[in-house]
Amino acid sequence: MITAYCSGSKPLELPNLSAIDRLPDDAVWIDMVDPSREEEANIERLLGLEVPTREDMKDIEPSSRLYIEDGSVFLTASLLCKADTSLPMLTDVAFILAGHRLITIRYAQPKSFALFIAALPRIPQERRTGVVLLAKLLETIADRTAEVLEQTVAGVDILSVHVFGDRVKKVRRPGNYLEEKLKDIARYHRTLSKIRDSLSSLSRLLTFLQAIPAMQQDHEAKDLCRNVSRDVQSLSEHASFVAGNITFLLDASLGLINIEQNAIIKIFSIASVVFLPPTLVASVYGMNFEHMPELHFAFGYPASLLLMVVSAIVPFFFFRWKGWL
């Protein structure tokens, strides 16, 4: 689907590009969502430039993602998508500045675009140029990324409380409680890694964008890009700090799992040590030798039981006295 956003009218959907010879003069933003090859060819014909394909946008080389060709500026960034789901992902989005127009090519629906479209009417009509729209769109993307990062931080804080929560009530946890928390940690780590990759991509794009002539000539857009670049840098530093917290939480959870496993092994070790002496006594008097005077003792059976009980209690209190239990 291709939509044209004009400076002084409502958005226009362009379902049949082959039937028109030129785009509206006041069309300042052409948004291409999952375009077909035919739609790409028609846009190339109408704009007189070659738009990057989906395969072109997957190239990770900076020279292939950020370049100027025939006076048009081509930018590609990896943006966060499906951040509100359990499986966040990155999607490549191309931004093209061609004259007074902004062209975007995307194959997903990042929420930042929906937010920007909703806020588009608040931009004065006389300021709706490709450069200004691109700067404000990048600002919206940075704000959305900051929101996702804030949600991730809040989730990590709650998860930390669950892992290191108040144990005054001594409520016994389910056997797989911490194992389930490891899945939550992995989910937050995945989200944060996508955020950091997106911020890194945005940082390179903004650095390149600030140096182009069209941005240098528009002081408002230039100042906005500079502010967004600073925000992205701050968010990157904060994301690194949160990544350290998630790593600590992961290590601590694994440590708690090891402690619980060691406690279980300790219980079995204590049981084996306590019951070893009684087993020895029972084994001695279970031998079938002919000459065993204790076998003819009238109180031999209760005496052997008492000896087994004492042999179990003495090691237990000895270990308690040593502080081993």
The region of weakest confidence among 71-85, 156-170, 216-230 is 156-170
Average pLDDT for 184-191: 90
Predicted local confidence at residue 198, as pLDDT: 92
pLDDT at residue 230 tops 90: yes
Nearest to 31 by CA among 5, 65, 57, 8: 5
What percent of the chain stands above pLDDT 90?
18
- The token pair at 239 is 């994301």
Contacts of residue 220, defined as CB under 8 A and 6 or more positions apart, other chains included, come to: 127, 132, 135
Fold agreement between 1-257 and 260-320: no
Give the side-chain half-sphere CA count within 13 A for 142. 25
pLDDT at residue 12 tops 80: no
Predicted local confidence at residue 272, as pLDDT: 80
The region of weakest confidence among 178-182, 212-216, 297-301, 303-307 is 297-301
CA distances from 204 to 61, 91, 197, 224, 315 (A): 11, 16, 11, 16, 68
Predicted local confidence at residue 233, as pLDDT: 93
Report d(CA 39, CA 20) in Å as an integer: 12
- Pick among 1.20.58.340, 1.20.140.10, 3.30.300.130, 3.60.21.10: CATH of 260-320: 1.20.58.340
The region of weakest confidence among 11-25, 106-120, 143-157, 237-251 is 11-25
Task: Give me the sheet containing 101-106, strands edge to edge.
Answer: 12-13, 2-6, 27-33, 101-106, 89-98, 72-81, 66-69
Predicted local confidence at residue 35, as pLDDT: 84
- The token pair at 113 is 């675009």
Predicted local confidence at residue 176, as pLDDT: 76
Class for domain 1-257, per CATH?
A: alpha beta
Nearest to 77 by CA among 132, 137, 18, 23: 137
pLDDT at residue 143 tops 90: yes
Task: Please indicate whether residue 230 or residue 264 has the higher confidence score (pLDDT).
Answer: 230
pLDDT at residue 165 tops 80: no
Q: Where are the domains of the chain?
A: 1-257, 260-320
- Cα four-point dihedral sign 114, 116, 119, 121: negative
Predicted local confidence at residue 63, as pLDDT: 67
- The token pair at 42 is 């028609």
Predicted local confidence at residue 196, as pLDDT: 92
Report d(CA 140, CA 42) in Å as an integer: 29
Average pLDDT for 63-73: 83
